[in-house]
Amino acid sequence: MASRKPCEELCLVHPGYHTGMGGTTFPDGFAWGVATSAFQIEGGWQEGGKGLSVWDVATERTGFVKDGSNARVACDHFNRLEEDAELIAGMGLNAYRFSISWPRVLPEGVGAVSLEGLGFYDRLVDALLARGIQPFATLFHWDYPYDLFKRGGWLAADSPAWFAEHASVVVDRLSDRVSNWITFNEPQCFLGDGHLSGVHAPFVQLGWRAFFEAQRNALLGHGLACQAIRQRALREPLVSIATCAAAGIPATSDAADVAAASKWGLEIQQLAAWHGGLYLDPILRGVWPTCDGRPVGEEFIEVSEVDLATMNQRLDYLGLNYYTSPRVRAGRGGVAEELPYEESWPRSAFGWPINPEGLYWATKFYYERYGSPVMVTENGIWLDDKLADGRVDDPERIEFIRSHLLQIRRALADGLPVLGYLHWTLMDNFEWAEGFRPRFGLVSCDHATQRRVPKTSAAWFAEVARTNGATL
Ligand code: GCO
């Protein structure tokens, strides 16, 4: 077992967090970093013995991706990891969240391991550590092995064990150097968008019964993976999940609106895949969520106490991915009601309303409900920024980050434990069904030449990180 305590690395268990330290600064050991995912940047889609994922297959078929592009090469990170580690180091960041491509390490999803695939992550971890950057490894960020999909995917009874096998293989190889493990990225998306609305791979619309089966299996997979990590890790692990921060923003400071906003997204009023409570109630409280006193989805699924005990594994912190949230007011009987944003409200190029206050409220509501310290595992903005005369000026991104960091500072001042801020994302990349048009990066990436150019925001963020937020 590990000899070093996790707090010696990133101070993730800083004593001040639990004593209402607050103040106007960021705590020592605060994680300043960027986040990416394998499918969006790696490319190398058939290099090193990699198997196909459902996203590889979907992007080869027409009609699924708006600009008709695919991620065969993406940012070619598979062949440029040193250069990209250098970009992160160039910003002076102390944390990098990346995901492990499951079919790169297990080409068929289970069974034979690709040593070349594992070797890639080995080299990535070494490149990060050599530059003083803590790796945060996400075990699954949506690129599900196609061979397992053909065997039923998340609907298969064996699927929890398949995911635990993947977790075990990766942990056995990397846990002598990696401490931070994130099981899933946004179960809302790969389950809801993937299996219900069908706007993400595997692009199927299977209805609620199948959704709940897939959801139960994924939560069991999360639980088994957590057990595997804790049993096998060579260094003391810090285990987490990154979930969409579905939280309401109180429309006014009125207590009734605050109470309504705290329910929105966490207490279930109607069936919707994005609900935080649908995933986190089983995971963090060991209970199945209810709606009007009845178990949610009871007409579709039954979850046993044994299942709940497997899903309910201790997490060291909760990862929140925050982009936007609705404003919420108390309707009749205190029911949470969305207050639509005006047409004139500032929005990202994705059309998402920009409302940094939601980050404060999400942190508060999730902490109050689940009691886990929070890590902001994603927050970012799609801007249509352009390279001109060799540079990219993106003042809107600077303002976006600044305003969100101020809300984290507000949360810290209220005594809420926020452990770090991982910006989405390092460089412009493949944005799923939107293709390459969205630009979310601190660094621009020309996908034809692979030339990387840090944007103005990269230098600004570097200075914020260097001063631990003092220059905000
Ligand atoms: C998500 C994913 C990222 C996206 C980002 C921008 O939250 O959807 O984690 O992969 O690229 O959020 O949409």
* Ligand 1 centroid to residue 284 C-alpha, Å: 23
Protein residue with least CA distance to atom 6, ligand 1 = 431
pTM score, two decimals? 0.95
How far is the CA of 117 from the CAs of 106, 122, 135, 232, in angstroms?
A: 8, 9, 17, 20
Which of 261, 274, 468, 461 is CA-nearest to residue 355? 261
What would the 3-class secondary structure string for 60-89 be? Answer: HCCCCCCCCCCCCCCCCHHHCHHHHHHHHH
In a 3-state reduction of DSSP, which class is residue 162? Answer: helix
Inside any domain, residue 152: yes
Q: Which of 141, 35, 138 is nearest to 88 (CA)?
A: 35
* 3-state SS, one letter per residue, for 229-286: HHHHCCCCCEEEEEEECCCCEECCCCHHHHHHHHHCCCCCCCCCCCCCHHHHHHHHHC
Q: Note the pLDDT tens digit of each residue in 100-136.
A: 999 999 999 999 999 999 999 999 999 999 999 999 9
State the Rg of the chain over Cα.
21
143 lines ligand 1 (CB under 6 A): no
Q: Ligand 1 test: best mutation among 382, 431, 437, most atoms within 8 Å of CB?
A: 431
Choose one of 140, 191, 378, 430 to mutate for the ligand 1 pocket test, by most ligand atoms within 8 angstroms of C-beta. Answer: 378
Phi, psi of 328 (to 5 degrees): -130, 140
Single-letter amino acid, residue 443: V
Ligand 1 atom nearest to CA at 434: 13
Indicate if ligand 1 lies below 6 Å from the C-beta of 9: no
Ranges of residues in the chain with a pLDDT under 70 are: 1-24
The angle formed by the CA atoms of residues 453, 122 and 11, to the nearest 5 degrees, is 80
Smallest CA separation from ligand 1 atom 5, residue = 424
CATH number for the domain that contains residue 93: 3.20.20.80
DSSP state, residue 154: G
Q: Which atom number of ligand 1 is nearest to the Cα of residue 142?
A: 10
Q: Which atom from ligand 1 is nearest to the alpha carbon of 185? A: 9
What's the confidence (pLDDT) of residue 268? 87
In a domain, 297, yes or no: yes
pLDDT score at 15: 35
CA distance 209 to 23: 48
The catalytic site residues sit at 186, 378
Alpha-carbon distance 243 to 283, whole Å?
A: 12
457 lines ligand 1 (CB under 6 A): no
Token couple for 329: 């007011």
Residue 1 belongs to a domain = no
What pLDDT does 24 receive?
60
Judge whether 471 lies within some domain: no
Query: Structural domain of residue 56, as residue ranges?
Result: 6-466
Residue 146 lies in a domain: yes
Residue 429 lies in a domain: yes
* Cβ-contact 156, 202 below 8 angstroms: no
Number of domains, the chain: 1
Position 99 in a domain? yes
429 Cβ closer than 6 Å to some ligand 1 atom: no
Helix, strand, coil abundance in the chain, percent, nearest 5: 40, 15, 45
Closest atom of ligand 1 to CA, residue 242: 9
Distance from the CA of 355 to the center of ligand 1, in angstroms? Answer: 17
Name the residue with the closest Cα to ligand 1, atom 4: 431
Contacts of 326 (CB under 8 A, 6+ apart): 248, 249, 264, 338, 339, 340, 341
Cβ pair 255, 274 in contact under 8 A: no
Q: Which residue has the tokens 């929890």?
A: 160
Nearest CA to ligand 1 atom 11: 431
Q: Do the domain assignments include residue 472?
A: no
d(CA 98, CA 351): 26
Report the pLDDT value the prediction gives residue 265, as an integer from 0 to 100. Answer: 84
Q: Is 240 in the pocket of ligand 1 (CB under 6 A)?
A: no
| 428 in contact with ligand 1, CB cutoff 6 A | no
- How many Å lie between the centroid of ligand 1 and the Cα of residue 22? 30
Q: Burial level of 1, CB count in 10 A (0-12/13-18/19+)?
A: exposed
Decide: 187 and 244 in contact? Cβ < 8 Å. Answer: no
Give the tokens for residue 321: 């991915």
**CA proximity to 310, closest of 292, 288, 278:** 288
Task: Report the nearest atom of ligand 1 relative to the CA of 321.
Answer: 7
Question: Is the CB of 188 within 6 Å of ligand 1?
Answer: no
Q: Check if 53 has its Cβ closer than 6 Å to any atom of ligand 1.
A: no
